[in-house]
Structure 1
């Protein structure tokens, strides 16, 4: 897999230019005094067992991530720079167990896993009062309308600009435009697309506001437009009701309304969510709501919820997985049903889900957490022969432990296991296990 030299050169040039400007403004600026630097290591073993006789996948890789986050120069307008360097090393794939789809590590020209891959990026930033602007190639949004994915060896990153403003008390305004993304298993950037799309877009515009009505209640509205694919509105409500000491009840309501935009529905701009039904094939036409309720008592947390996807078409989100084989696959979205293996987001799908988690700090073992979740979806609209509605279910288990003291303080281990059964859907039955070791060392 080739490197994107143009993107890399632009990032380095941006870094050098911004560094020169900022350092010339103030010799003793907080640019350096407030800087932070860290190196993170992630060791990742991935095992996907296809229960229907298809190709299995077992791979092991090591990732390294270097982050430098500057402070801001002094003055009415402060300037800064963030730089990120990423390196992935393929340790083992097992003979025949590395599929040529760049889903975990990039593939070489012969279909085998590359020995290593890397990328370098930078983001310039400016701050005025309580408003901050960023422009660069290392953006990792975590918003209702776009969630950067960090579920493999290296993280997904986006290129573009974002502005965050907190000038008005209790309000956070966010707006921006993104133009490219770099996938988890790639050194190369691509444009932006959706599941099924083979053409891309270089314009994802968005804006939104979080309003903290009280310390326990937050209301949200966001709008996004991926040019030539879709327009999307989001409404959200999060409320936490304190009941007593170590006891609370949380309500989380989410609603999405998505519609076709521009060339969507034509060749190259088709939307196909997991082979599901669409009233107008290839076009975005969806309403999805989700309600989650969590009761917490001490270390215990029990969450129950339900999600409804409208009959006209599946839920849509930014997803580059069908573009040229560039390792751009793997995308997240802002719903609980974005689980270990499946998404439960196809046309007509009704999903009931629950999760129980426990924080062992309540038993005197800080750093140890465990959870188990179950999701069951039915009424999935199908394009299969006969058109009968389909069902699917998944169970997910997770255990995390982070060392709290000593020389290895901060060293974390995560084990995740998912079991998916499709009941005749086009997604094969799978058992998936992930073993991850994380460590971050802060040296500034």
Structure 2
């Protein structure tokens, strides 16, 4: 693996600006209002987790059930014209609870009040300023991030929102560079600017997650139309340093068939304070009180596509002092093959295997309709004083997107999961059925 030093990156960007770039994005700017957009996304979500061993807030019922409605309004201005363009972004979001009492809460759709009841409504706003020079953009403020080492999650009612600075450069064709520093992360159910739980203090109370910040760097390059690579790194102060690599290659067989290979890998090195997290056993999917967050995690997936069908096989392996740890760096910071609906299959020393099938019904005269099913089995999980941990999960998913008319892009998505773990692993992951219905309607206002 070749890691480019900052001086080399700066030289490459400068060369791309002076020699290779034809017409930059800034040169083609239509102005602050000319390139603006205003979008509204409405989401309905129903979620039910039926725990087979009575593990819920109410042992008599054994299940958790919530439903709600949310709206996310995002405004993005264009950039003013000139050598350096200036712009503004803004967001406003809110959700209302439709169903879900205190006895059935716990699916992560809503925060709870001082009486431990789900909040009836929630909302937050944010904004960011941005500058653009050629094809390089600097953005500061509240924003959504999708780096493999720092990714905001949008799997429930409202998305996580990060606060900080991000620079993204696309000066050379095929090469994208990014670097940033973030000092706060607002949880999906936390309306405060920094509401991700952090390291415990002497009394065991968890503080702010990113109070000391996280620095990130990323680079991706398209070697050819079919072969891409990426590298990313982060330093979450007081927690860990994390490194990520990806290689993705597609082999075209003919117009109707192709073979894709996708390799993802993480290396996590814990800081002294970060080791305390594991010492308290506070990590899901395998945290068992072992000090240290050092972990190596990798996956390799092979997918064969033929017409409307795609068949995927994947293998994933976790090794090190403990399970792969994430969350304080965003609850979507896990870009591996076997991170699925319920489990991530990242327990200590875990090995997991996946078989998946997808079908696109457009080939059969129903454009917008698709189906997916997959099965993942994990074993070899090291659990202190309990033997070998094992888990498995089966998913079924169907999605339909309206293709035309006034309801164009309206989508209906149904998801079902059946999760099981053996006795040695029940303390970390409980058997359950997970059923979700998600309806989304994205609307382009401007």
Whether TM-score is above 0.5 comes out as: yes
Residue number among 88, 93, 96 corresponding to 2:103 in the alignment: 96
Matched residues in 2 for 1:408 and 1:275: separation? 40
Residue number among 198, 201, 206 corresponding to 2:206 in the alignment: 198
Matched residues in 2 for 1:245 and 1:415: separation? 31
For 1:19-418, list aligned pairs within 5 A.
Answer: 30-55=31-56, 56-94=63-101, 96-99=103-106, 103-137=108-142, 139-190=143-194, 198-199=206-207, 200-202=209-211, 203-266=213-276, 272-274=282-284, 276=286, 281-319=290-328, 331-383=332-384, 385=385, 387-418=386-417
Cα offset, 1:93, TM superposition: 1.1
Q: Which residue of 2 aligns with 1:323?
A: none
Q: Which residue of 2 aligns with 1:436?
A: 438
Cα offset, 1:42, TM superposition: 0.4
Backbone CA RMSD of aligned residues = 2.2
Matched residues in 2 for 1:118 and 1:336: separation? 33
Call closer, same or farther: CA 1:92–1:277 in 2, change over 3 Å: closer
Deviations 1:163-211 (Å, cap 9, x if unpaired)? 1111122211111011111111221132666799934333111112101
Secondary structure in structure 2 of the residue aligned to 1:361: helix
RCO higher in 1 or 2 (8 Å CA, sep ≥ 6)? 1
Matched residues in 1 for 2:293 and 2:132: separation? 37
Cα offset, 1:75, TM superposition: 0.6
Structure 2, unmatched stretches of 5+, are 1-28, 57-62
User: Contact conserved, 1:198 with 1:268, CA < 8 A, in 2?
Assistant: no
Secondary structure in structure 1 of the residue aligned to 2:383: coil
Secondary structure in structure 2 of the residue aligned to 1:408: coil
Cα offset, 1:239, TM superposition: 0.5
Q: What is the TM-score of this pair, normalised by structure 2?
A: 0.85
Matched residues in 2 for 1:270 and 1:82: separation? 40
Deviations 1:225-275 (Å, cap 9, x if unpaired)? 111111111121001111111211111011211111242224798674326
Q: Which residue of 1 aligns with 2:10?
A: none
Cα offset, 1:314, TM superposition: 1.2
Q: What is the TM-score of this pair, normalised by structure 1?
A: 0.86
Q: Which residue of 2 aligns with 1:10?
A: none
Call closer, same or farther: CA 1:232–1:256 in 2, change over 3 Å: same
Cα offset, 1:330, TM superposition: 5.0
Call closer, same or farther: CA 1:52–1:361 in 2, change over 3 Å: same
Call closer, same or farther: CA 1:436–1:238 in 2, change over 3 Å: same
User: Contact conserved, 2:397 with 2:416, CA < 8 A, in 1?
Assistant: yes
User: Contact conserved, 2:285 with 2:345, CA < 8 A, in 1?
Assistant: no
Structure 1, unmatched stretches of 5+, are 1-27, 321-328
User: Contact conserved, 1:32 with 1:71, CA < 8 A, in 2?
Assistant: yes
- Corresponding residue pairs, total: 403
Cα offset, 1:30, TM superposition: 1.2
Cα offset, 1:331, TM superposition: 4.5
Cα offset, 1:147, TM superposition: 2.4
Matched residues in 2 for 1:264 and 1:230: separation? 6
Matched residues in 1 for 2:126 and 2:138: separation? 17
Secondary structure in structure 1 of the residue aligned to 2:356: strand
User: Contact conserved, 2:345 with 2:378, CA < 8 A, in 1?
Assistant: yes
User: Contact conserved, 1:208 with 1:222, CA < 8 A, in 2?
Assistant: yes
Call closer, same or farther: CA 1:85–1:432 in 2, change over 3 Å: same
Matched residues in 1 for 2:390 and 2:122: separation? 39
